[in-house]
Chain A
Amino acid sequence: MKARVHVMLKNGVLDPQGEAVRHALGAMGFNGVEGVRQGKVIELDLADGSTEADVTAMCEKLLANTVIESYTVEMN
């Protein structure tokens, strides 16, 4: 089974990389992009029987820094 973890900077935490992408899009003529936030996706190959709670524990302990980041877990 697989899990996919999305990690994003929390709202209110400045994302200078997202801002740089927004500027670049504007400079390329893509008008109307009002905000860009950049995050990361982590895919996990898991042994059968692994639970969403296991993945949440991984997020809390390592995959995300909850001081600055939020995360969501997709199990499939």
Chain B
Amino acid sequence: MHAAVVVFPGSNCDRDLAVAFEASGAKVSKVWHKDTEIPEGVDIIGIPGGFSFGDYLRCGAIAANSPICKSVAAHAKRGGYVIGICNGFQVLTETGLLPGALLRNAGLKYICKTVGLKVETASSAFTQGYTAGDVIDIPIAHHDGNYFADDATIARLQGDERIAFTYTDTPNGAKADIAGILSENRRVLGMMPHPERAADAAHGGTDGQALFRALSGALEAV
């Protein structure tokens, strides 16, 4: 599996994400936001967490309009895989690759802690290493993770089993307890929690490992 990790000014989880991909056996290339091409042969693009462009205007809004994001959208439209974590999820909603938006946390506070996530579907390359109904412990670290979409969109996400993860005890006000969602073709995942921060015993938890391993397994087989 060849993964590309996009780096924006203000990204701060790019290295963690690259390390998690590498630990699952992937070759990783880093791509700068001003680049216009994704390297040849990339199977999956990772949009990391952080504070791209200082969260100016809206989280992810400026990054979503950077040169590299046109290539990310083209990769996704060709059926390529994309994972956006935390700020990366915000970027994916701002580009329109995933529906909805991430609002300020309902409690107005930045929250940094490990939370329980329920795996809602195992039917995706990202989640097939889990069993639907599993509860896993994954850290969150965000100020704007309050998922919002109109009722029709939420109903569609639920009906198509495109909600990947929900919070067992929603910390941020997210509608329908949504922590992560999939695109219609199930090849784009956006999630606020950080699986790459629970991917090594030294992190204090390894519940995120199965995501990277499953992805690697699925994409090696392609």
Contact = CB atoms under 8 A, between A and B. Distances in A.
B104 A65 contact: no
A17 interface: yes
Nearest to B108: A16
A13 B100 contact: no
B101 A17 contact: no
Size bracket, chain A contacts: 10 to 19
A17 B108 CA distance: 7
Contacts of B148: 13-14, 67-68
A65 B107 contact: no
Size bracket, chain B contacts: 20 to 34
A16 B105 contact: yes
B8 to A, nearest CB: 16
B107 to A, nearest CB: 7
Interface in B93-107: 93-94, 99-101, 103-107
B61 A65 contact: yes
A63 interface: yes
A67 B57 contact: no
Interface centre among B100, B103, B173 (most CB of A within 10 A): B103
A16 B105 CA distance: 8
A69 B213 CA distance: 38
B108 A65 contact: no
B108 A62 contact: no
Interface string A44-62: 0000000000000000011
Interface string B78-121: 00000000000000011000011101111110000000000000
Nearest to A61: B65
A50 B111 CA distance: 43
B33 interface: no
B149 interface: yes
A17 B61 contact: no
Interface string B141-185: 000001011000000000000000000000001000000000000
Interface of A: 9, 13-14, 16-17, 20, 61-63, 65, 67-68
Interface of B: 57-58, 61-62, 65, 93-94, 99-101, 103-108, 146, 148-149, 173
Closest 3 CB pairs of A and B: A67-B101, A68-B101, A16-B106
